Each structure stands twice: as structure tokens, then as C-alpha cells.
A and B are shown apart, each in its own frame.
Chain A
């Protein structure tokens, strides 16, 4: 049976909805993170599926609960934004001796699959609620928040794995290798833009409008890498533990100018699982519960071939207003922000939509903020997780760090009290975001 996605009625995608009905009725406790790798070496025990199982077991252990307490899973099935195998490609040699297989042969390899997880984790014997949060783990988080708040699951895993196969991520592979273009991608692909190009176009428009420049990104890039290198679970800490400098950033080769190589996040293999439950049940978990005060969604207006600065500013402004309205807070209540950063050039759109670090400015101030103290020790901790730029591409380091910050155990713990944090992903006009807090009060 096909696994459903959240009904549209669960979306909080407009203003005027008031305080979220689930406010204070959902908490996060345990977090499990797999090891990282740059690419898959085609061995079963290092596959995306194996990493996912490892992350789930670690999250359950971290929460201090038993596997049979899990009664729900929300999973993001897509495990890359790059290249996958053919959906019907057989599993590699030796796979069947390690894992049981479902009908979909790429399950656990290039696609996450709840049925595959349950087949290979017999200890999860009480899972009855299953739902997919497609495209981005932020969708899985907001879906799980609604599911728990509505009583559809009491203790729910939120899960996403990432695979990264050999070869270059997109270049000259699959449809990009052809001299014709078919399907919806053709409207963009004939122009030959790498993935970061549409973001770079809007960033260029931003710089033209507000008199900013690409080199003003450097302090943010460096600070994110510094934060990421504090994280023992991050890719760079595990495999490339070298700090980067402003000069490194400014001399990075262009991909789609004004986006250079360091504005693009590094694809990796990794998996994350998080335990969501109710405040009542969390009383016997061993970790401090982190309350979800609200969530909200934006989706593209789909008018042109690529988004415009106006659209991204409208979307992120609306996201900020929706999040604050539903949580019953304001920008001044936010201790830190962990909005998405992969590509780095759109982080400031999210940040400005939240009015984070604003001294009354509405737009065009973020790159100036980057020139001030945005470190974890300062008054405005920007992206303390280090994000994708500091840890590798997952779209979930930011969410994970909100939980860890508020529990007081982030490897890059901010100096000011971590009372309320906001995370969201991915692009400014297609974003699911959450408000996390130390208490429901």
C-alpha cells in the first residue's frame, strides 16, 4: 500500500491562523546521527539504508526508550538531489545476504523506504503510523509534528538518509548528457545552469538592489565552517578537519558567478533520526524535551522560469510572520537561527524574513550583519549548526542543532541562553520551518 503524505489541511501556509493548535503538545527528545562518507563504496554496510538503521538505533538509545515504544515513522524517501540509479537497477552483490528486500530494488540504496526499514528492523514491532515527508526532511519534521499533535502517533521517528554515488553530482550524467531535453526539466536544462545558478541570480539581484557584494559573504562562510568543525558528527570534522579562511572563500572557483565552489554544499552519505513524542510520554525519556511551538510552510508562486527577488522576499517575510503568529512570539524572543544554507547565498533571505538580528531594518541588512559578531559567543548567533556548508549536504544539521542547542548539548553551544530557535529548509520560497523552545510557556 502506498505510503501517504500529509494532507494539505495540515499545512500552516497562510497568515491569520492564530496560535497553532498543537503548540506545546509535541516535543523532540532523542537524536541519532550516522557516520558520514563522501561517497558510497557500494558495500551493504555503508549504504544509505545501513546508515539510516544506525541513526534510528542511536536516536532510540539517545532518548532512553525501548524500540517497541515507537509507533510511527515519518520519512523523507528522496535520498539525493543529484544522481540516482535506475529505479529498477538490481542491488549490488552481497546485498541480499545483509538486508531483506522489498519490491522496490533500490530501497535502502538510492531511496528511503519505510517498509524496507521495518523489514530490516524487527525490533520496531509496533509501528502503525507511516507517512512520507517528501523532498526535504523539514517536511518530515512538520508532518510528524502535526501527526503527534493530532494523536495519530505517540512516539514517532523522523528519518532521512542521503546517498552519494560515484561520479560527478550532475555533470554530464543522465539527461544532461543528451542533445535533447524532455520532461519538466527541459525549461531550465537547455540553458545549462548548474543547480546553484537560480539562487545566484536572485543573490545578484539582491546585491544590485541593496548595494552589496559577494565578498561580504565571507565572514558567514568562515563562521559556519568554524561551527561545523566543532561537530564530531559532521563530514568536515570526520574527513577534512581543516579550517577555511576568507582568502580560501574569495579565491574559490566560480560555478555560476556570483556563486563559487564554497557557496555549494558538498554531497555526502549520512542519515539522521529524531524522536518526537508528547510532553507526557517524554517524562520518562532521559533527555530534556524540546517543545515545538509552531511550524509553517511556503511554496513557490510558479509564475516564471526562475524565482525573483520579489518572490523570495514575499515568501520569507510571510514565513516570518506565520511562524511568529502561530508560536505567539516575536523576533526579539529568538535566541538563534538555524535556517538553511545550501546554497549559502540564500541564507540571508531566510534570516531577513525572520528579522533575525535586525535593529529595525526589514531588508538588505543581513550581509552587514555578517560583518558583525555572528559567532556562537556573540549576541546574534547565525547558523550555529554550521549547516550544510560546515558539515556536508543533508538539509538537517540545522534542525538537529536546534534540538541540541535547547537541550544544552550542542557541540557548538551558543553562549547566550538557548531558549527559542528557528530552523527551516530548503529554498526561500519552498520552505517548511519550525519554532523550537525550552518550554511551552
Chain B
């Protein structure tokens, strides 16, 4: 169990006050791995395809025998928005903030989300390389994946 409020900085431009996700039986392997600073995703052997969020079966072929596999956590920033009107109470004080889609190296069609801590709004380098790290969330300490810039080399103009 991760102690509550561990390594929380809660500073605008750094870590945002995310809700703490509460694991269930289906996604516990994902969240347990996050607490060990590892990114694991469900993989369908029949389709040779990763997926996230976790599901009981592969949505493409119906295979219920999905395996958890570790991935590198490297990817590229695919797109972004700047949130000015979040519904989530804990995040409203941090507005405006980035939410970016991260296209994973192992499965470019698989997108995960990021606040890109430390990247100013409207300065998100689309196409830049990122890597995963794990961030504790305030309410329970449950860790979640976040991403940080590795390279600012971006094939497209920052927007």
C-alpha cells in the first residue's frame, strides 16, 4: 500500500491534483504495476494487439484470455487540448492545464492520456518523444502513469 500523500507536490505546472483511481478486480494488475513503477497493458495474443483501458475480453476478437505485458512507456505526443472548464472539482484550481494523447511506441494506435507536467499550456510539442514515469495521486497515494518530454524534436509546429 502506498502511503497517502506521498511525494505530492501539487504545484501548478508540475503535478496536478488528480482523482485517485480505485482499482477493481479487472484492472488491479495495471494499478499494482503502476505502484511498482512499471507500465503493463493487456495484450491479445490472437490479434497481437495491446489495449487500454482494461477490458474482460479483446474487443476485436472476443478473446477472454488477455495477458498483461510490460511495455517501455516510450511514445510520442499525438495531440493535445488545453482544459479551461474541467468537471472534476480537484482539478479546477489548476486550470488551464494540458491533456495530451500519447501514442505508444509498441502500439501507435493505442493512446494514453497525460497532463504533461511542467509543459506550459499552448507550448505542447506535437510529435515530441516522451517517456513514462509514475505519479502518486493525493487521496490514496495510488500511482498512475504520467509522461515527460525526452526530446523536444517535433515533426510539427507546437500549438
Contacts and interface: CB of A to CB of B under 8 A. Distances in A.
A308 B75 CA distance: 15
A432 to B, nearest CB: 18
A302 interface: yes
A259 B111 CA distance: 20
A190 B83 CA distance: 13
B159 A204 contact: yes
Interface of A: 170-173, 176-182, 184, 186-195, 197, 200-202, 204-205, 208, 253-259, 300-311
A259 to B, nearest CB: 7
A192 B109 contact: no
A310 B109 contact: yes
Given A182-B22, A208-B126, 18 more contacts: A172-B89, A190-B137, A193-B81, A193-B99, A193-B113, A197-B83, A201-B80, A208-B156, A208-B159, A256-B82, A256-B84, A256-B99, A300-B59, A301-B59, A303-B52, A303-B59, A305-B111, A308-B109
Most buried by B among A171, A180, A205, A254: A180
B59 A302 contact: yes
Contact of B87 (A172, A201, A202, A208): A172
Interface in B51-105: 51-53, 55, 59-60, 78-92, 96-97, 99, 101, 103
B67 to A, nearest CB: 16
Given A190-B144, A191-B115, A208-B156, A180 B22 contact: yes
Contacts of A311: 109
A181 B109 contact: no
A193 B19 contact: no
B148 interface: no
Contacts of A255: 83-85
A305 B50 CA distance: 12
Interface of B: 16, 18-22, 24, 49-53, 55, 59-60, 78-92, 96-97, 99, 101, 103, 107, 109-115, 122, 126, 137-140, 144, 156, 159
B60 A205 contact: no
Contacts of B111: 304-308
Contacts of B78: 205, 308
B81 A197 contact: yes
Nearest to A178: B19
**Which 5 residue pairs are nearest across A and B when measured between Cβ atoms?**
A304-B111, A192-B91, A170-B87, A192-B86, A302-B59
Contact of B19 (A180, A200, A305): A180
Contacts of A193: 81, 83, 86, 99, 113
Nearest to B114: A191
Given A193-B81, A197-B81, A303 B126 contact: no
B46 to A, nearest CB: 14
B52 A190 contact: no
Nearest to A171: B87
Nearest to B84: A254
A195 B81 CA distance: 12
Given A176-B89, A190-B19, A205-B79, A304 B109 contact: yes
Contacts of A189: 19, 87-88
B113 A301 contact: no
A178 B17 CA distance: 12
Contacts of B96: 254, 257
Contacts of A197: 81, 83, 99
A305 B59 contact: no
B119 to A, nearest CB: 14
A197 B111 CA distance: 14
A310 B139 CA distance: 36
B116 to A, nearest CB: 11
B87 A192 contact: yes
18 contacts: A179-B20, A179-B138, A180-B139, A184-B53, A187-B53, A188-B113, A191-B115, A194-B86, A201-B81, A204-B79, A300-B59, A301-B109, A302-B51, A303-B59, A304-B112, A305-B101, A305-B113, A308-B103
Contact of A186 (B21, B52, B159): B21
